[in-house]
Structure 1
Amino acid sequence: MIKFGYTILYVEDVEASITFYENAFGFTRKFIAPGNDYGELSTGETTISFASKGLAGQNLPEGFLESSLEDKPFAIELGFITDDVPETVQKATSFGAVLVSEPKQKPWGQVVAYLRDLDGFLIEICTEVEAS
């Protein structure tokens, strides 16, 4: 059996990233490793993890593409489901998230907005997709 365990974001400052996600979205800190090179948040069924770019460089000696607000976002996003997209967007931007796209209703009824976090990772804030 395989299950999806976590997503790791390579960030400049693990403590700052975890604090941002706690404040902006209300997630709970699981732990931060000694040295602040790695940490995890409880977000429900799946964990969001953070590794410092220094640790990532040790694990990937050939290098990697770094996420940055100065560059376009990667072709991947974190999706957070909420009942109130505008309120969640407002709260996240008050803690430093960058608004990419205002909340919009999709043809299938879902409300979706896009943000970027402190390190430039793309976040979708959306309502649940209703099964038809």
Structure 2
Amino acid sequence: MVKFGYTILYVENVEESIVFYENAFDFSRKFISPDNDYGELITGETTLSFASKKLATENLKDGFIESNPKDKPFAIEIGFITDNVAELVQKATSFGAILVKEPTKKPWGQIVAYLRDLDGFLIEICTEVEG
């Protein structure tokens, strides 16, 4: 059996990232390690996790490309489904998210907006895909 368990974002400050996602998206804190190098949020079936860049460097001896709000986002996004995209976008930006694209209705009826978090990771805020 294989199950998608979690996505881990490598961030500058785990506690700060956890607080941002708690405030902006109402997720609940599941766990933060005593050294603040790793933390998890309860987001539904898949856990959103954060690892400090320090811990990531220990795990990945050859390094990694760091996310930075000043650079273009990676070719990956995390997506959050909501009934009210505009409201959630407004709330997230009030806590420091950067608006990339205003809510737009797609040809298949879905409403989609794009933000970047404090570390520059791309976030899609969208309604459920119908049908």
- Aligning the two structures, in what range does the TM-score lie when normalised by the shorter sequence? over 0.9
Give the equivalent residue in structure 2 for 1:6: 6
2:129 is the counterpart of 1:129 = yes
CA distance in 1, matches of 2:79, 2:51: 19
Percent of aligned positions that are identical: 78
Give the equivalent residue in structure 2 for 1:54: 54
Aligned AA (1:23): N
Runs (4 or more) in structure 1 with deviation over 4 Å come to: none
2:20 is the counterpart of 1:20 = yes
Following TM superposition, by how much is the alpha carbon of 1:20 offset from its aligned partner in structure 2, in angstroms?
0.2
Following TM superposition, by how much is the alpha carbon of 1:54 offset from its aligned partner in structure 2, in angstroms?
0.2
Give the equivalent residue in structure 2 for 1:35: 35
CA distance in 2, matches of 1:109, 1:69: 30
Q: CA RMSD in A?
A: 0.3
Give the equivalent residue in structure 2 for 1:76: 76
Aligned AA (1:11): V
Give the equivalent residue in structure 2 for 1:93: 93
Give the equivalent residue in structure 2 for 1:116: 116
What are the ranges of 5 or more consecutive residues in structure 1 without an aligned counterpart? none
Aligned AA (1:115): L
What are the ranges of 5 or more consecutive residues in structure 2 without an aligned counterpart? none
Aligned residues, how many? Answer: 131
